A and B are shown apart, each in its own frame.
Chain A
């Protein structure tokens, strides 16, 4: 792993009235240049917090970055001043936000919004920026670009807006792109289109993509590697094939089992329960109370990520005990 982008030992807390709560605790996450890396987790797992932390855009209170480093091309982003960060944002990292409804400024035409980004990041004249913007709208496969340029966000459909959001993120011209659930709130056919688009653009432009989703299916479609995020911790990571074929963490398994495969198949949703803050296990494994495999050991000691095979690592005490065949037959008590 060359470590084009590396997150190390990152701890982010939120201050609440009940005290500080840890929301993100990532030992290590590394991306190679040009790859598409998926991050999967349920709502509230800390996916968006991770994305915003990378850009240093978390609202300062309540969020506190306690420790860690985020390295992009050898430079630690957490040590940058706000001014320096402003230059890195857009130019080096940009982000596709998850909600196309609220990500576009409602009182500017979408053309104007793209043009401004172009002008700012490439230091070109307005006229050139206009041409570039037109081309960019064509790049994201929106027909009738000139017409779309003059439209306000509320005049576009959800899919069109999401394409515009992608266009703006790409207009920055950065090599590292964070896609925060770009297909959320979209129906399935448009989802597929957007996914295809992201994959194509990734290949064409050679950008590195951190693809955040709450759906393993999406990730498996376009990512080479994946990390499963649960309560701010990476519980399982590896090549998509490794993780999908041989899921070791009970949580990954639950996620996979929640996807119906055959018609009429009964899906087990027993372990897909809402997080219960009363039952949060602070000391040991975060998944303790929901885990069907739990042991006393899990309650008291937090599992660390350990290598299983190839690049596949899992943070689970039980994954190593007799679990050759993977989680599905993982019945040992």
Chain B
């Protein structure tokens, strides 16, 4: 974690740019820039700057954005829910589509269903996200005119309706407040980016479930369970699947990390107002406190997800001490 902070910090500072000029704006005099650079502590040596940054970090202060002069942590908080919503939705979709796909595939190994599902999984994993995103836009927006192009809500809805704001997850908020108009609109908007993001984890989960199950279905205890006359339904969906859950859960949690980064790209394509949009504009304008903030957040997320993966593995009674 400290390593991530250190590298990100040094890299953003080494990149030739003039943060002080950013801070005061385009039409600043050289005196103003000078004053700003003292205010931001840029005149001090790098290690002093780092020390101050770290000290602030411990207090939860990520510094202020060079463009908006707002605290980065506050901005992150504002952009985060949209991204998390997208990641959550696509992960849930991945679990509920990927696992059954893998199970069916393993059950009907080498039959048509299996071939189709494997073809789909390989495709889902290997197709580049930006291509899928734009392709979906082309089909569903341009040709079929079924779904909106991008953003989280239509302009009309944004202007006419009161947007509920409780957890920040739009779908969830509009549903619990019973605001069906907003809910429907939000749902329509999340479908395309959701599918785009979910595609990779679906393929991954399906393949993982399939290979884990194939191994397990050959085990003696599965044969034994059948010999006791237990229905095939129970053998497959309970006895076998519970054994395969370990590897699958690990893959799911780790793929959330990948999904998170993937989301940044997808958000840019669908102009989704999340962290991805935030970081891409931050990078373009070399807003280094913002870049640092997002980097630290992503690193944190990875660490937490790894921890969750370990916890899930530990749920297996064989691993438990």
Contacts and interface: CB of A to CB of B under 8 A. Distances in A.
B243 A88 contact: no
Given A104-B221, A105-B221, A95 B317 contact: no
Contacts of A193: none
B228 interface: yes
Given A106-B318, A107-B317, A116-B234, A90 B221 contact: no
Given A105-B243, A106-B221, A107-B243, A95 B318 contact: no
Interface string A128-160: 000000000000000000000000101000000
A121 interface: yes
A143 B267 CA distance: 62
Contact of B242 (A90, A94, A107): A107
**What size tier do the contact residues of chain B reach?**
20 to 34
Nearest to A106: B318
Contacts of A105: 221, 225, 239, 242-243
A87 B242 CA distance: 24
A122 B225 CA distance: 16
Contacts of A52: 223
B313 to A, nearest CB: 12
B239 A120 contact: no
Interface residues of A, number: 34
A97 interface: yes
Nearest to B242: A107
A320 interface: no
A57 B223 contact: yes
A106 B226 CA distance: 16
Contacts of B224: 95, 97, 103-104, 165, 168
A235 interface: no
Interface string A88-104: 11110011010100111
Nearest to A173: B229
Contacts of A99: 220
A169 interface: yes
Given A105-B239, A108-B242, A168 B228 contact: yes
Interface of B: 218-221, 223-232, 234, 239, 242-243, 316-318
21 contacts: A57-B227, A86-B232, A88-B229, A89-B227, A89-B228, A90-B230, A94-B229, A95-B224, A97-B223, A97-B227, A102-B219, A104-B221, A105-B243, A116-B230, A117-B230, A120-B229, A154-B317, A154-B318, A165-B224, A169-B228, A171-B228
Interface of A: 52, 55, 57, 59, 82, 86-91, 94-95, 97, 99, 102-109, 116-117, 120-121, 152, 154, 165, 168-169, 171-172
